[in-house]
Structure formats: C-alpha cells, structure tokens
Amino acid sequence: MVKLMDEVELTQNGNWIEVWGADWVLEGCASCNGVFVLPPQKVSQRCPFCGQAALAQMDPSDDRPIYTQPPELVVPFRTAEDRLRASVGKFAKSIWLAPADLNENALLSRMQPVYLPMWLVDAQVQGEWQAEMGFDYEIVSHREEYQHNNWQTERVKEKRVRWEQRLGRLNRQYENQSAPALDEQEQVEAKIGRFNLKEAKPFQQDDLTNAIAHLPNRPPEDAWNEAVVGLKTAVTQDCRLASEADHTRGFKWSPQFANQQWTQLLLPIYTSYYLDDENQVRMVLLHGQTGKLYGVLRASTKRAYRITNMMLKAASVFLGIATVLFLVDLLGAEGAESWITLALLLMVGLGVAAFLPVLYALIVNATQRTKEREK
C-alpha cells in the first residue's frame, strides 16, 4: 500500500529514485511526456512508448514527476520467445511491398520490455441506495393448432420481468478496484487486450533488470473518479444479489468512502518499431502475457513506384519489338502478324498492370490511416 506523495521522505541527497531500491536512471520523453525509470545500461534510447523522441535524462531532485513511488505488484512477462517471434513474423509478412525496415529481424532486435502502471484501490463504501429490481417469471399459455386433421394444444412459455422498487443501506469493504494510472491505458488495452491481474506478484528489484518502467501520469487523486465508476458497478451487482433479483435499473446511491488504500501494479508490454518510407517511426505493441500484437502497417510507395517503373520499361521494350516486327512485316516476311499481336498484347497488359503496385500501396496506406484514427 502506498503513502501519499507528500509523505514520501527523500533520502539524504534528495534523490527519491533510490526508494526504488537500486541505482536507476530517470528519463523523460519530450514528445509523449512519459517519464521512465530505466536500468543504467538502457539510457538515452528512443522513447519505448511513443518512439517519437530520444529519452533525455532528468535530474530527480529538480524534475519531480507526478508520482514517484515504486510499485507494490507486478504482472510478470510470460510470452514465450517463439510466440513473440511468430507474432512479429506474421505482422511483417502481412503486407505486400513492406518498407525495407519492416522485417522480423529488425522488429525483434528492437523489442523492449516496458511496464505500464495501473492502480488497484481498496475502499470502505457506506451509504443509502435505491433501485428498481427486476425478477424473472414465466407465464404459461396454451395455443390451439389444427394439424393432421386434429386440434392440438401446445403449451407456450413466455418470460417476463416484474419490477419492484427497493432501497437499502450498504456498508462494505471493496478490494482491488482497478483505476488507470496512465492516460493512455485505455488506448493500449483497446489495441492489445486486457491483462490477467490474477498473475500479479510482489514487485522485486530484479523485475526491472531488463525492462523500463513508465511512471504514472495520473496520481491516485486524479484516478479516483474512475475507481468510483467501477465501485458503483460492483455495488449495484451486490445490491442485486442481496435482493435476489435478476436485473436492476435506475440505481441511485449516496456513497461515502473511507480507508482508501492504493496499490501500484505494473503491466507487461513489449514495444518495437519500424521506419516507414518517410522515416516516420511506426510503433508496434505486444501484450506481455498473450503475445497479441498491434501495429500500424505502411506499404512502401517507393518500392511500388520502382516496380511500376520497371513494368513500364518492359512495356516499352515490347512496343519496340512490335515496331521492329512491323517493319519486318512491311519488308514482306511471312508470319510476323501473330508475333506483332503478341508483343502488343504484352505491352498493353504490362502497361495496365504497372499501375497496380502504386494503387495497392496508396489504398493500403489510406485504409491504415483511417483505422489509426478510429483507435
């Protein structure tokens, strides 16, 4: 359980980062404003989260990030290497005319384990509640039907819900309600899926040996509102169970909260990137438990134009051949006509097909851009 930030005592030289338990380095990204705790051998590399800037060292005693306490829990990485390799290989091969940098080896060599923070909060909830509780019941009716020269009676069951107004008082301890410690958490989970928190274990220094930890950009007081949303869902569910009802609607409550205890938990992801034709960094994220990958694909328009160019050149060669054959035909040679037709057909075919690669690249990139906007 964490103490509030202002209670955190600085160590003698004012370097709070030592509370993490080892000689970590603090670095920040000027592009996504992410603040990271890194092992010393990892300093000043490209931002492992957005990829848009190099990380710059911060002075822990001057640039104090929003929240600096080390985590209590960690969900360990557990995706097998061959699984990661398969995910990355499939991604790299999923596009024709990929940029040169989009290949399995480059992606694997840049793969970086990163921990993202989230909160678990315990709280005592007290207060009045009221809601409409719905109870399922069945009515049975009979339907007469004339079949096979006979009247037949069929029993028909119909489900209905009876609604009743209920109210009550609640006083209960709720544990491990999740709340985001990062603005970007929802986005990340939308891309690679949620995490199985049942695998969480106590955090140890060794967990950071090779990994980079993203510090929270939403402190507990900021994340609390979202924890309340989750608590309300849990409370609604409990009130429904206590009423032995099947449904609820119009839940209202006037809660009071006490004894909030915050736990910081780290979630495992891998990040990697490739450079597209314009040397833009394209991030690739992988789930540290399932290996699920999210990445934006870009086709190489440069490669497409090169192929188009080659095909147009080949088409002009066939035009040349057809012209020569035509002259030969004029001179009275036998059987040139069919060769002229063939050369002209090849020329037209290549000329039309030549535009397909460029068209493909433009369409793929436009589709991907739309997809990205939707995420």
46: buried, middle or exposed (CB in 10 Å: 19+, 13-18, 0-12)?
middle
- Written as six digits, the tokens of 329 are 């035909």
Q: Taking a C-beta distance cutoff of 8 angstroms, is the pair 39, 210 a contact?
A: yes
Closest CA to 122 of 218, 231, 202: 231
Q: Which is nearer to Zn ion, 48 or 291 (CB)?
A: 48
Min CB(99)–Zn ion separation in Å:
21
Q: Which residue type, as a one-letter code, is found at position 283? A: M
Min CB(360)–Zn ion separation in Å:
32
Q: Which is nearer to Zn ion, 49 or 318 (CB)?
A: 49
Part of the chain binding Zn ion (CB under 5 A), chosen from 46-54, 142-150, 187-195, 347-355:
46-54
Min CB(46)–Zn ion separation in Å:
8
Q: Which is nearer to Zn ion, 34 or 117 (CB)?
A: 34
Tell me which of 5, 10, 15, 31 binds Zn ion, using CB under 5 A: 31
Part of the chain binding Zn ion (CB under 5 A), chosen from 25-33, 158-166, 257-265, 346-354:
25-33
- CA quadruple 60, 61, 63, 67: dihedral, nearest 10: 70
Report helix, strand or coil for 60. coil
Min CB(63)–Zn ion separation in Å:
15
Min CB(31)–Zn ion separation in Å:
5
Part of the chain binding Zn ion (CB under 5 A), chosen from 45-53, 94-102, 174-182, 252-260:
45-53
Closest CA to 357 of 150, 97, 128: 97
Q: How far apart are the first and last CA of the chain?
A: 34
Min CB(286)–Zn ion separation in Å:
17
Q: Is the dihedral of CA 100, 104, 106, 110 positive or negative?
A: positive
Is residue 84 involved in binding Zn ion (CB under 5 A)? no
Is residue 29 involved in binding Zn ion (CB under 5 A)? yes
Q: Which is nearer to Zn ion, 281 or 342 (CB)?
A: 281
Report helix, strand or coil for 163. strand
Tell me which of 8, 43, 50, 317 binds Zn ion, using CB under 5 A: 50
Part of the chain binding Zn ion (CB under 5 A), chosen from 50-58, 108-116, 193-201, 294-302:
50-58
Is residue 215 involved in binding Zn ion (CB under 5 A)? no
Buried-exposed string 276-296: b where 16+ CB fall within 10 A, e elsewhere: bbeeebbbbbbbbbbbebbbb
Instruction: Give 326-333's long-range contacts (Cβ < 8 A, gap of 24+).
Output: none
Task: Give the Å distances, CA to CA, from 318 to 79, 174, 294, 311, 325.
Answer: 54, 78, 44, 11, 10
Min CB(275)–Zn ion separation in Å:
16
Task: Give the Å distances, CA to CA, from 327 to 50, 189, 289.
Answer: 63, 68, 70
Tell me which of 47, 123, 211, 304 binds Zn ion, using CB under 5 A: 47
Tell me which of 10, 32, 170, 281 binds Zn ion, using CB under 5 A: 32
Q: Which is nearer to Zn ion, 182 or 364 (CB)?
A: 182
Size of the site for Zn ion (CB under 5 A): 7
Part of the chain binding Zn ion (CB under 5 A), chosen from 3-11, 40-48, 252-260, 312-320:
40-48
Q: Which is nearer to Zn ion, 32 or 197 (CB)?
A: 32
Q: Which is nearer to Zn ion, 50 or 319 (CB)?
A: 50
Q: Which is nearer to Zn ion, 114 or 265 (CB)?
A: 114
Residue ranges of alpha helices (H) inside the chain are 81-93, 104-109, 185-192, 220-242, 301-330, 336-353, 356-374
Residue 94 has, within 13 A of its CA and on its CB side, a CA count of: 15
Part of the chain binding Zn ion (CB under 5 A), chosen from 17-25, 32-40, 60-68, 243-251:
32-40
Q: Interface residues with Zn ion (CB under 5 A)?
A: 29, 31-32, 34, 47, 49-50
